[in-house]
Structure 1
Amino acid sequence: MELTAEDCAWRDARHGGRPVRESEFLSHGASALEVTQVGKETEDFLSMESMIWLKMQSENGFRKVARLLVHCKPGDHMDFKVSMFDKSDMEHVGGELGDHLSFFSSKLAVKTKTDDNFQAPGTWVGLGGSEAAAAYLNSKMQATAASLISTTCSEAEEQEAEKICGKHLQKDDGNHPEIFGDCVFDICHGAGGEEVAQSAKAFIAA
């Protein structure tokens, strides 16, 4: 499965990158992906929402292991959350996914897991992705690096960004402590204005 913010479309890498449709059940040995939502238009600035469930084979058939929720704005950015339902499964998730992982208990209490190895190892193609997506991601990374080099953020601009983010987000939100900081950084470095904070708020609530 592959998704980039170029067009926010899920593709099946095993079958030539064909578009994945809603309600598909993609089985692969003892695991399967159930696609329950693809490209749903949202009422906020994120514009598209997708939801995919990871299931694993057990003695009683397939059981739900994790839910991947993605908000994506074509040509811009994406946000994602991975929710897991069995605490023992959390130890098998690392890299960038591990840093966005949360465990939901029966009381819906949230526990966040972080991983020191934030960067996924290997190249995009080496991880199973397509050459086309790899080229798109490389161009975005180069553009982002150039933008960060040329864009400075003064103390006054950072304070203004904090004020904008504070209108929509709680700075000390125990469940999503990194989102406020990301909001301030993005606005301060020219990624947008209040729309950034509104998008972050909508994603937290999803």
Structure 2
Amino acid sequence: MSTPPEPRTRRRPAYERAVATADRLFYEQGIHAVGVDQVAAEADISKASLYTHFRTKDDLVLGYLRGRSRSWQEHVAIELPARGGTATERILAVFDLLGEWFDEPGYRGCPFINVEAEYGAGHPTHEVTLEHRDWVRDLFTALLVEAGAADAESTALELCLLYDGAMASAQADASRPWAAAARRAAGRLLEPR
């Protein structure tokens, strides 16, 4: 009796491979350091196929950033309810999530801060960065309103500073507990005044 052939593994479509490869390479090496030839080669697709999905490298970069934002938003949406019953507990849990990310192998900082350092405000990536930052600020604002904070918008900006500062600090010096320090500072901001 013969053995049935192994089922063929279905490869992901070229678009998905391109985005996944660009995500890994852009995050690991920086956007300017990675060319479309490298993305196409490592994704095992032709440059023509890559350009079918992304007219320019900038379009691929925008896809990378939107994917990063969507992924983080989905992660936070799943994790926060499981980590805290009160709005205050969920705010503090955001910093716990950051700390877990910082501990992952290959942490290279915030992709949005990194892209701003590479491109700045005059590039199309800036709009995607602002959209993501708006989401972070809106998340904190909504939780602060739920917690009954007196000045939710101002406090949300202060929490964003702690959030960004922890990410930049962890990228520069991974030896210190930046997320835990940001969480403690956030806890002091949230204390009744």
Could you state the TM-score of these two structures normalised by the residue count of structure 1? Answer: 0.25
The structure whose Rg is larger is: 2
Higher relative contact order (CA 8 A, sep 6+): 2
More strand by share: 1
Greater fraction of residues in helix: 2
